[in-house]
A and B are shown apart, each in its own frame.
Chain A
Amino acid sequence: MESPKEQSSYTVEQLVAVNPFNPEILPDLENYVNEQVTSQTYSLDANLCLLRLYQALMAMPAPDFSLCLFLIPERVQMEEQFKTLIVLSHYLETGRFQQFWDEAAKNPHILEAVPGFEQAIQAYASHLLSLSYQKVPRSVLAEAVNMDGASLDKFIEHQVANSGWIVAKEDGSIVLPQNEFNHPELKKNTGENVSLEHIARIFPILG
């Protein structure tokens, strides 16, 4: 029989260093951490695992973070750094962005640890807002992305240019791009598609 899979030849640090923004490395990280979690030696290195969790938080709204927690033994989850991340995830899962940013501010190393972390959370916030709002008050947006004044203006400007946001003239609120979740009439009247494969099965009968 083949011997148990050999550990990847690269370390997670190398992997992340070479591809900091590449979501393609997630499966590798996943394997790596899984291997550690399930390996007999229990050589679960807390730092590597944390790094993986940062990445998972950045993947919101995908459920990656919970997926990780399912695999991390409880006693590891009880460690201080893990607890902070779990609290942060809880705020994100329950749409409490203000509390999230307050908590994150208390742990500045978190925002600095992984490049692009802040932007990833802002992207998640924008995603969730656009599932929910046709038009969102500026103050609500400000809170969700943790920006105000000039930096918020710049952020909005960028979204206007790239993602189809519109600033309403009358009250300064932001009109978010239409999708089938904030404009339900767009939901394709799933005027039912029946695949050829299905139909093909009754050809002999029809013939």
Chain B
Amino acid sequence: MTTTYDFEDTPSNYDDVQRQGGQDAVYDPNFVPDSVKSFVVHMYRHIREKNVYEIHQMCETSFQTLSERLFKDTPWPSVEAIAPYVDNDHVFCLLYREMWFRHLYARLSPTLKQRIDSYDNYCSLFQVVLHGVVNMQLPNQWLWDMVDEFVYQFQSFCQYRAKMKNKTEQEIALLKQNDKAWNVYGVLNFLQALVEKSTIIQILEQEKEGLEQFTATDGYDYSGGSNVLKVLGYFSMVGLLRVHCLLGDYHTGLKWLQPIDITQQGVYISVIGCHIATIYHYGFANLMLRRYVDAVSEFNKILLYIYKTKQYHQKSPQYEQLLKKNEQMYALLAVCLSLCPQTKLVDESVNSQLREKYGEKMMRMQRCDDEAFGIYDELFSYACPKFITPSAPSFEEPLVNYNQDAYRLQLKMFLYEVKQQQLLSGVRTFLKVYSSISLAKLANYMEVDEPTLRTILLTYKHKTHSVGSDGKVISNADIDFYINNDMIYVVESKPAKRYGDFFLRQIAKLEGVMNDMDRIKLE
């Protein structure tokens, strides 16, 4: 890649920055304040010395502090300006620009040119990683941020491109000219290439047999190698899950996540943003596939985790994002539980939070009137991913906005599903209070004829029993029943208490306590 980035060539960028920057003085991309000089010099040294701890501190703290102090409304100095302080190191410059763009996206609105440049920068960076010439050790947080940001910028680009109405002729010309930038295949190919080249799937397989260490070292390489490709490959699986969810392809998304066993500890937990992104998309995809029990249990686990650990993340730059996803997942949990009332899967503290936030709405969702649909609509719209249409517009047709199309389609499909299930909460109410009841009697109570009741009961069975990828039937039913000719017999499913897990955890805990006590010396 030999793209040159010369901001003096694009005066329009200046104008943009100034307009957004408001009160600030003119941004001079070539001016490097001393604090930045020192920042890049140190960062460069720490990267060469593979000092992961220091690199992490610099990304998470110094970079944020400097941004807050000096670059609130302007970009950081251009890469050309800082390059002389870091031996013009090619890879470092790519990394610097990655942060440069991330900061720009977070604080300003990127121009089309900048969006394209950022894509090119990711291409160059990933190429370097893929061709195995890096010998760095980078913090997991940063590697996750790269994948996360890459997908975010892709999504942002699709949204931007789909708003065709206000595009200038210049922008349209630039879009046509750069049709490879943020192309959906390009994006998917990079992520897939990282997964494949890193052989992460095989590594995780071998780890199960004890032939390989990955999780135990959080993906870091303590024998002199680099963690970059391996960990990027690992996070790319989560990235692929997310991209496929954005496209509405939930099945493929979940397939990409499969190598990561989310019932176990894993590197995905080592970065809170990754942990949340994984479970949020996993839960959402399962919700759309009607596997409510899977969605509920994972939402429950992560919401409990966030509830308990929230305070440790307050200083993190991702804290706000964390809170937002937390709220969204409560909304999704409310939706799942309204369609599949398995409250016993939910922990007490999560449940009380849920009641506080959505208790009243959940009551109203049980009814099957227009108001209930309104609430399903509201919660879905609030909590769903930002769906995208990945294709470029047809530039010939009159230019219309189509950025809402993908979202509207997914919403419509979801509400359609809700509608198909609308009579089920009625059946549930009756089944709860009978151990057996004749079809005629229940039909009478529900004010439908018998054949209709039979179809409702079949619907209940169909909607509460999903078919797994292995073809096995999995029950999501809180209450189940069977019919013998004209009689319905009700079976309340008792939750299988997982004593084994509980004891295993307690044993480990006790051991920890005893170790602590052994260490205490009584004088």
Contacts and interface: CB of A to CB of B under 8 A. Distances in A.
A146 interface: no
A84 interface: no
B458 A132 contact: yes
Interface string A114-136: 00000000000000110111111
Given A38-B391, A134-B483, A5 B189 contact: yes
A2 B484 CA distance: 60
A131 B409 contact: no
Interface stretch (B13-21, B316-324, B348-356, B498-506): B498-506
Given A62-B467, A135-B485, A198-B500, A1 B190 contact: yes
Interface stretch (B73-81, B246-254, B337-345): B246-254
Given A61-B462, A95-B456, A133-B484, A202 B420 contact: no
B189 A198 contact: no
A91 to B, nearest CB: 9
A38 B394 CA distance: 13
B222 interface: no
Given A70-B249, A70-B413, A95-B462, A135 B484 contact: yes
Given A5-B189, A132-B461, A135-B484, A140 B467 contact: no
B482 A61 contact: no
Interface in A33-64: 34, 38-42, 61-63
A71 interface: yes
Nearest to B264: A197
A201 interface: yes
Given A181-B465, A192-B500, A93 B459 contact: yes
Interface residues of B, number: 67
Most buried by A among B127, B193, B420, B461: B461
A108 interface: no
B309 interface: no
Contacts of B359: none
Contacts of A194: 500-501, 504
Interface string B169-189: 000000000010001111001
B49 interface: no
A199 interface: yes
A181 B473 contact: yes
A1 B392 contact: no
A3 B498 CA distance: 49
Interface string A156-183: 0000000000000001010000000111
B457 interface: yes
A129 B455 CA distance: 10
Contacts of B251: 30, 67
B390 interface: yes
Interface string B121-132: 001001100000
B465 A61 contact: yes
Given A63-B289, A192-B498, A198-B504, A132 B482 contact: yes
A69 interface: yes
A42 B391 contact: yes
Interface in B448-504: 451, 454-459, 461-463, 465-467, 473, 475, 480-486, 491, 493, 496-501, 504
B195 to A, nearest CB: 13
Given A63-B466, A95-B456, A182-B482, A4 B473 contact: no
A181 B504 contact: no
A9 interface: no
B484 A4 contact: no
B507 A205 contact: yes
Contacts of B484: 133-135
B230 interface: no
A30 B249 CA distance: 10
Which 6 A-B pairs rank lowest in CB-CB distance, beginning with the nearest?
A: A95-B458, A4-B185, A194-B500, A70-B248, A184-B491, A95-B455
Interface of B: 123, 126-127, 179, 183-186, 189-190, 193, 208, 247-252, 288-290, 390-392, 394, 405, 408-410, 412-413, 417, 420, 451, 454-459, 461-463, 465-467, 473, 475, 480-486, 491, 493, 496-501, 504, 507-508, 511
28 contacts: A1-B123, A1-B127, A2-B193, A34-B249, A40-B179, A62-B467, A63-B290, A67-B250, A69-B413, A70-B409, A70-B410, A74-B405, A93-B459, A94-B459, A95-B455, A128-B461, A131-B461, A131-B465, A134-B484, A135-B484, A184-B482, A192-B498, A194-B504, A197-B208, A199-B504, A201-B508, A202-B507, A202-B511
Interface of A: 1-2, 4-5, 30, 34, 38-42, 61-63, 66-67, 69-71, 73-74, 90, 93-98, 128-129, 131-137, 140, 143, 171, 173, 181-184, 190, 192-194, 197-199, 201-202, 205
